[in-house]
């Protein structure tokens, strides 16, 4: 087995090769004929099939702007004349061919400047003792809309000030000069090493996704590797060893093991073990992966179930850093973190104890591959929720809260299937395609799995499929929607295989049965509850190129008439509880403080001034925290450091839990004052 000293020698040689070949590496970043062909294929598909059907010559200027925003978001590398010259460059050639060439050339300039900045920062590290850290200078915090620099001298000044800011930030966080040097050296070399591993496909992805995003925010190109990742996200399963990896730019390490996965079952590997080489079952020599991109390491480790992978690791427990080789048989890994989960909350209402079921659904997941193969027992959110509802009914719950907070959506099929559990037969959502055709999604007939009191809990991060379900429940008057205005994603995407990878593009919009779209507008809750998510920072309508809200005709749907006439009373009672909540009041003050800091545009690079500002802010936070804890009868903190070093907050201080408890109180009021199971067939205009 290899010693650490031998491994370090290999890594140093790799670094030397990287650094001395950086100029040649930059020259190797060039688009290929295949890139051009793929770009034409993707653009043609978008022009014909995207919901907006825009031609490339209508959007290429916006696409160029998006490319620049993503390439140099802080406007810290490219110069004014370079940007203008490239964007406005006339050409005798095909417009798309010209733009891909311009984009790759801009990346080469960016890459050259990136190396220059890291060289400058490494040089400044050697002179850190002589730096003036108490200047009367301020830097702009958000440079996304700042003017482009006009000269390399201006860039050098900016880079120097950015470096000084990094030094000051580390010093005011309690680091010594030696620790600052060590951390910044590692950070600069790590970022440089990552950047030097940029490939043609990365630059092409940046270019083509700038075009895709100019159509709308949810249209994007997936490389073959990203396609595999997307399928894993949707199915909650993969074939591999079941280990989550992290990288410190030298080693790829085990962050954690998936419970029940092959790696955990093997008992040969554990968290914080470092991987130095990977090989397949029949390999005699393993491939060194020191300094590799983490996605390349992942690619070597993944493989079909039943096959074996060899890993050379430095065990976290090894006292002398000696390596050992282990072998793990790959298998199906179930990513259960996004599985639906249930619990029960007990609430007292007018002397009666109510048992309320809660189902937390983080995503609308579905194993598409198993579904397409006709597997009966395929994995899906609707099946899991249905089983959990049956379990809760056996426990005789009085009502159900479906928690969709932070659920960004997923499968449209699953949104429909979940709505069916609560609504039975009938249209759940209308879908308008790019050719103007309107389809109504939902089984004509069917039975409800759950017909008792229902609340859907949402927040600003509830999107897409979550909004379809919440909108249907609200239109059918089947249950209450609680929380905040939702995200507002009302578009449907389709995956189309292209010659290399896949294209996800918006081909249709969905509309509620009442006729209104959720696009940009979202779902307005029946009762508003507090949230830590700032609605002015998060939401579909805030995204560049987001499609607009509109309406179509309503369709026939049931009116379950479950809300009664007591909504004003429910709101009044909830508002009173929220107003009396110490935790809600505390978070409201924190939000106001955050808003003040968010509006700060400039940052001083004066060490003493920054220390004073930091101490002032920490005292405000500490005072607010201790005031809350005193009122709740909890121990207070002596210093801000004690506050930061606290163990995980108990439920009394968990805002998410406080919101859920208020939802449970609303449910108790709902049951007592409102629940009315009569069903009326109606057609209501939006």
Tokens of 527: 């009762």
Q: Are 631 and 157 in contact (CB under 8 A)?
A: no
- Measured at the CA of 593, the angle between CA 588 and CA 594, to 5 degrees, comes to 95
Which tokens sit at 566? 């007591």
> Catalytic: which of 360, 489, 509, 558?
489
| Beta strand spans in 436-529 (E) | 438-441, 454-458, 480-483, 491-497, 502-511, 527-528
Report the distance separating Cα 525 and Cα 527, nearest Å: 5
Q: How far is the C-alpha of 118 from the C-alpha of 166, rounded, in Å?
A: 13
- List 64, 166, 464, 514, catalytic entry: 464
Give me the helices (H) in 556-654, please.
Answer: 567-580, 582-598, 607-631, 640-644
Q: Which two tokens stand for residue 598?
A: 């968010």
Q: What is the Cβ-side half-sphere exposure of residue 27, based on CA atoms within 13 angstroms?
A: 3
Residue-by-residue DSSP string for 249-285: SS-EEEEEE-TTSHHHHHTS--TT-EEEEEEETT-SS
Which candidate in 72, 367, 475, 669 is catalytic?
475
Active site residue 475: yes
Beta-bridged to residue 603, according to DSSP, are: 139
Distance separating alpha carbons of residues 95 and 559, to the nearest angstrom: 54
| Contact assessment for residue 31 and residue 100, using Cβ atoms and an 8 Å cutoff | yes
* DSSP 3-state of 604: strand
Gap between the Cα atoms of 15 and 21, Å rounded: 10
The residues carrying an active-site annotation are 464, 475, 489
């Amino acid at each position: 087995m290899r010693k650490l000293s031998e491994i370090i020698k290999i890594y140093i040689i790799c670094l030397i090769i990287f650094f001395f070949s950086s100029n040649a590496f930059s020259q190797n970043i060039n688009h290929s004929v295949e890139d051009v062909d793929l770009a034409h294929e993707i653009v043609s598909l978008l022009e014909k099939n995207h919901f907006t059907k825009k031609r490339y010559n209508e959007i290429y200027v916006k696409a160029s702007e998006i490319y620049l925003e993503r390439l140099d978001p802080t406007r810290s590398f490219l110069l004014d004349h370079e940007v203008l010259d490239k964007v406005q460059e006339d050409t005798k050639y095909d417009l798309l061919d010209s733009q891909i060439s311009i984009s790759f050339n801009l990346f080469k300039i960016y890459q050259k400047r990136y190396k220059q900045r890291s060289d400058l920062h490494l040089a400044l590290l050697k002179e850190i003792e002589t730096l003036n850290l108490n200047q009367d200078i301020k830097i702009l915090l958000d440079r996304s809309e700042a003017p482009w620099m006009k000269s390399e001298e201006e860039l050098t000044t900016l880079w120097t000030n950015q470096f000084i800011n990094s030094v000051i930030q580390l010093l005011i966080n309690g680091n010594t000069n030696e620790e600052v040097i060590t951390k910044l050296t590692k950070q600069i070399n790590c970022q440089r090493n990552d950047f030097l591993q940029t490939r043609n496909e990365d630059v092409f992805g940046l270019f083509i996704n700038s075009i895709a995003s100019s159509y709308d925010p949810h249209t994007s190109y997936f490389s073959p590797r990203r396609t595999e990742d997307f399928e894993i996200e949707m199915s909650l399963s993969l074939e591999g060893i079941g280990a989550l990896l992290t990288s410190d730019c030298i080693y790829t390490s085990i962050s954690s093991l998936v419970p029940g996965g092959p790696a955990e079952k093997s008992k040969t590997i554990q968290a914080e073990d470092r991987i130095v080489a990977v090989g397949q079952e029949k390999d005699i020599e393993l491939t060194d992966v020191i300094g590799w991109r983490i996605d390349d390491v992942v690619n070597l480790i993944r493989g079909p179930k039943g096959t074996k992978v060899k890993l050379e690791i430095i065990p976290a427990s090894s006292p002398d850093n000696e390596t050992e080789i282990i072998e793990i048989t790959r298998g199906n890994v179930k990513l259960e973190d996004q599985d639906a989960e249930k619990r029960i909350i007990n609430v007292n209402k007018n002397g009666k104890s109510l048992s309320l079921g809660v189902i937390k659904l983080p995503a609308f997941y579905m194993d598409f591959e198993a579904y397409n193969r006709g597997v009966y027992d395929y994995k899906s959110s609707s099946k899991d929720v249905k089983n959990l509802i049956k379990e809760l009914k056996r426990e005789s719950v009085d009502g159900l809260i479906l928690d969709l907070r932070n659920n960004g959506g997923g499968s449209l099929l699953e949104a429909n299937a979940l709505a069916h559990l609560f609504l039975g037969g009938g249209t759940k959502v209308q879908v308008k395609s790019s050719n103007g055709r309107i389809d109504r999604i939902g089984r004509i007939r069917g039975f409800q799995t759950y017909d008792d009191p229902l609340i859907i809990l949402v927040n600003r991060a509830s999107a897409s499929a979550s909004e379809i379900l919440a909108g249907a429940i609200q239109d059918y008057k089947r249950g209450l929607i609680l929380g905040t205005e939702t995200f507002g994603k009302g578009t449907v995407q389709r995956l189309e295989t292209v010659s290399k990878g896949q294209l996800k593009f918006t081909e249709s919009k969905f509309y509620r049965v009442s006729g209104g779209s959720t696009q940009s507008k979202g779902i307005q809750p029946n009762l508003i509850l507090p949230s830590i998510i700032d609605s002015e920072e998060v939401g579909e309508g805030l995204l560049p190129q987001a499609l607009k809200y509109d309406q179509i005709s309503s369709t026939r749907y049931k009116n379950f008439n479950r809300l009664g006439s007591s909504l004003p009373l429910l709101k009044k009672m909830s508002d009173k509880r929220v107003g009396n909540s110490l935790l809600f009041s505390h978070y409201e003050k924190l939000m106001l403080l955050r808003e003040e800091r968010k509006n700060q545009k400039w940052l001083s690079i004066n060490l003493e001034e920054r220390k004073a500002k930091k101490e002032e802010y920490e005292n405000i936070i500490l005072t607010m925290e201790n005031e809350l804890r005193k009122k709740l009868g909890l121990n207070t903190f002596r210093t801000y450091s004690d506050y930061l070093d606290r163990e995980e907050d108990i439920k009394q201080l968990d805002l998410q839990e406080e919101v859920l408890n208020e939802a449970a109180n609303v449910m108790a009021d709902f049951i007592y004052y409102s629940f009315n199971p009569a069903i009326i067939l109606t057609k209501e205009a939006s």
